Amino acid sequence: MARPADVSRADSHRAVEAVWRIESARLIAGLARIVRDLGLAEELAQDALVAALEQWPESGVPDRPGAWLMATAKHRAIDALRRRARLERKQQELGRELQAEQEQAPDPAAGLDDDIGDDLLRLMFTTCHPVLSTDARVALTLRLLGGLTTEEIARAFLVPEATVAQRIVRAKRSLAEARVPFEAPTPAERSARLASVLEVVYLVFNEGYSATAGDDWVRPALCEDALRLGRILAELVPDEPEVHGLVALMEIQASRLRARTGPAGEPILLLDQDRGRWDHLLVRRGLAALARAETLGRPLGPYTLQAEIAACHARARAPDETDWTRIVALYDALAQLAPSPVVELNRAVAVSMAFGPAAGLELVDALVDGGSLDGYHLLPSVRADFLVKLGRHAEARAELEHAASLARNTRERELLLGRLEAQPMSLDRS
């Protein structure tokens, strides 16, 4: 059945929302460059959205909706800049000041056709600025670059909507107070600032991929949001190998989303997954992104190394075809580059697969002694796995009980309790 495009009000309302999804980041980024104030830029963009909601149901969606929104917001930007100038004149009663202000303020009409990519990149660097807390960076990035509503962010992170709204308001205020310029970082700061952007994207992905709290083990929508941000970033800075490394890592991990949850929503661990259910399109995309990172010919960074490890699993058609020796070598490199107890724990698992559970247990025991992973449920969980393989079931039971008591995610706790039940009561070989 044919419906003329954008005739009914409900249709056009949905169309406006869809256009907003597509255009909001570019709109806010372009406006922020003109008005040099992220909060004001978002307000202006929202005003343009309201104007669209009022006018498009009558007029239809314009041919170039992005340009329409930008032109509307730009008019309001000029008004806002004039108002601001008038206010300053009143306060200071000095025409000289106004002139200075006008000279300083860039011409709102100028540079609208500048590379939108540069604006988006500036926006990403700004929403992930180190003056902001991690929570604030995540909320602001999802809101301004991901086009998510405050409500959607709140739902994804299981926090009240008011909390997210407040985080965003405070973040914008912090940026203004710290006088963070809406600019790309200097070459000297660039790599640290880029690392901050990648961290935010991966954090969003991980919150979707293995939810730390709540009843669901995965929240795929967050993974999709993170992947989209990563794919956008890869086109904005195609010469940065770690960006492609991160995209590769996320694509390959996301390829397992369907396979890592069982019929009742319970987690299925990597080696138990039905590899036929992996998303092979995403695997291919991940391997391609990894190749892109590596052809840039620079030393492998931590994301690229992790993507390499993920690729080892992706390339193995069956668990017993996994190249564990290579995975151990990659973890060795990762541990040197970005030492962390979590990497050590993963290395221990790889070592146990390559060289036997006793070798793995030795590494894990060193981690237990180190104490830095106290309270992390995967430490006793991994230790239990090695103990089971070594036939030390009584000790394994104790570790599983400990792990279950530490797990914050309901599904993960159930998995651990299931493994506990599967343990024989008194059949220790040792």
Partner 1 sequence: MRVMVLVKANEDSEAGVMPDEQLLTEMGAFNEELVKAGVMLAGEGLRPSSKGARVRFAGGKKSVIDGPFTEAKELIAGYWLWEVKSLDEAIEWLKRAPFEETEVELRPVFEVDDFGAELTPELREQDERLRAQVAARQ
Residue 156 Cβ, how far from partner 1 at the closest point, in Å?
13
Question: Of 33 and 285, which CB lies nearer to partner 1 in the complex structure?
Answer: 285
If one asks whether residue 285 binds partner 1 (CB under 8 A), the answer comes out as yes
Secondary structure (DSSP) of 33-58: HHHS-HHHHHHHHHHHHHHHHHHHHH
Rule CB under 8 A: is residue 57 a binding residue for partner 1?
no
* CA atoms of 1 and 401, how far apart (whole Å): 60
Query: What token pair was written down for 19?
Result: 């256009």
Residue closer to partner 1 by CB (options 113, 177) is 113
Counting residues that bind partner 1 (by CB under 8 A) gives: 31
Q: Is 261 helix (H, G, I), strand (E, B) or coil?
A: strand
- Asked if 67 is part of the footprint of partner 1 (rule: CB under 8 A), the reply reads no
In the list 7, 8, 9, 22, the residue contacting partner 1 (rule: CB under 8 A) is 22
Work out which of 108, 230, 286, 380 binds partner 1, going by CB under 8 A. 230
Task: Tell me whether residue 14 or residue 86 sits nearer to partner 1 (CB atom).
Answer: 14
From candidates 88, 161, 224, 323, binder to partner 1 by CB under 8 A: 224
Give the CA distances from residue 421 to residues 272, 390, 397, 407, 416, in Å, rounded to whole numbers and listed in that order.
18, 18, 9, 17, 9
Smallest separation, CB 174 to partner 1 (Å)? 28
Based on its alpha-carbon atoms, the radius of gyration of the chain, rounded to whole angstroms, reads 26
Return the structure tokens found at 346.
């993963």
Of the candidates 4, 160, 187, 276, which one interacts with partner 1 according to CB under 8 A? 276
Long-range contacts, 238-243 (Cβ 8 Å, 24+) = 238/292, 239/296, 240/194, 240/296, 241/293, 241/294, 241/296, 241/298, 241/300, 241/301, 241/304, 242/194, 242/195, 242/198, 242/293, 242/301, 242/302, 242/303, 242/304, 243/194, 243/198, 243/293
Q: What minimum distance in Å lies between the beta carbon of 247 and partner 1?
A: 10
To 5 degrees, how large is the angle CA 58–CA 31–CA 57?
10
DSSP string covering 369-397: HH-TTTT-THHHHHHHHHHHHTT-HHHHH
Segment near partner 1 (CB under 8 A); pick from 71-79, 274-282, 331-339, 365-373: 274-282
Contact 35, 81 (CB under 8 A): yes
- Which candidate, 221, 211, 215, 198, places its Cα nearest to that of 128? 198
Stretch of 32-40, 74-82, 273-281, 288-296 lying at the interface with partner 1 (CB under 8 A)? 273-281
Minimum distance of partner 1 from residue 213's CB (angstroms): 21
The rounded distance, in Å, linking the Cα atoms of 381 and 369 is 16
CB of 94 to partner 1, least distance (A): 46
Instruction: Choose one: 19-27, 49-57, 77-85, 104-112; the region binding partner 1 (CB under 8 A).
Output: 19-27
Give the residue with the Cβ less far from partner 1, 170 or 277: 277
Question: Which amino acid, one-letter code, is at 47?
Answer: D
Q: Is 274 in the site for partner 1 (CB under 8 A)?
A: yes
Confirm or reject binding of residue 411 to partner 1 (CB under 8 A).
no
In this chain, which of 4, 263, 297, 299 binds partner 1, going by CB under 8 A?
263
Q: Does residue 292 interact with partner 1 by CB under 8 A?
A: no
Residues 147 to 166: which contact partner 1 by CB under 8 A?
Answer: 147
CA–CA dist 426, 430 (Å, integer):
11
The verdict on 138 binding partner 1 (CB under 8 A) reads no
- Selected from 39, 60, 130, 262, the binder of partner 1 by CB under 8 A is 262
Q: Which of 39, 60, 117, 341 binds partner 1 (CB under 8 A)?
A: 117
Residues in the chain, overall count: 430
- Whichever of 54 and 274 has its CB closer to partner 1, that residue is 274
**Which tokens sit at 48?**
């343009």
Is residue 200 a contact residue for partner 1 (CB under 8 A)?
no
Instruction: Say whether residue 287 binds partner 1 (CB under 8 A).
Output: no
* Binding footprint of partner 1 on the chain (CB under 8 A): 5, 14-15, 17-19, 21-22, 61, 65, 117, 147, 224, 227-232, 235-236, 258, 262-264, 274-277, 281, 285
